[in-house]
């Protein structure tokens, strides 16, 4: 495995990807507020802040290679995910509730892109 400068941030990314890839988790935790005991609270907004505000993953994903991501293929899968999220935001805005976002037909592309990213990053 290629080493990255910030392995903890990589693990945090994988945690967010797990949430984005699991519609049942989103319903249970983001919408209903249930906890599995490993956290106090989780919501879609946390993943958005990590991708868009806390890191360059949404703005300049290739700059995170060697820092959070291992290679260009990982960067491409994260870019595909943020393109899906951007499409949802462009069409519906950024003020919907988590329940409203996950009910959108376009949300399935977000879930699928997150699943693809996880598969690649954990291979």
For the stretch 57-104, pLDDT in tens is 999 999 999 999 999 999 999 999 999 999 999 999 999 999 999 999
pLDDT computed for residue 48 by the predictor: 97
* Rounded (10°) CA dihedral 107, 108, 113, 117: 100
What are the angstrom distances between the C-alpha of 74 and each of 7, 14, 96, 116? 14, 12, 29, 10
Percent of all residues in the chain with a pLDDT value above 90, rounded to a whole number = 89
Is the pLDDT confidence value at 5 over 80?
Answer: yes
Give the mean model confidence (pLDDT) for residues 94-119: 98
How many beta carbons lie within 10 A of that of residue 116, not counting itself?
Answer: 17
Is the pLDDT confidence value at 1 over 80?
Answer: no
pLDDT, averaged across the chain: 95
Predicted TM-score (pTM) of the model is 0.94
CA distance 31 to 25: 9
Output b/e per residue, 30-54; b: 16+ Cβ within 10 A: bbeeeeeeeeeebbbebbbebbbee
Is the pLDDT confidence value at 39 over 80?
Answer: no
């Amino acid at each position: 495995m290629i080493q990255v400068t910030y392995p903890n941030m990589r693990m945090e990314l994988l945690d967010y990807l797990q949430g984005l890839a699991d519609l049942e988790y989103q319903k249970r935790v983001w919408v209903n507020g249930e906890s599995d005991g490993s956290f106090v609270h989780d919501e879609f907004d946390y993943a958005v802040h990590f991708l868009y505000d806390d890191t360059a993953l949404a703005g300049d994903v290739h700059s995170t290679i060697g820092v959070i991501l291992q290679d260009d293929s990982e960067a491409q899968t994260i870019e595909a995910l943020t393109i899906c999220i951007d499409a949802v935001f462009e069409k519906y805005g950024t003020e919907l509730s988590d329940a409203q976002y996950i009910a959108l037909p376009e949300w399935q592309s977000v879930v699928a892109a997150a699943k693809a990213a996880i598969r690649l990053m954990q291979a």
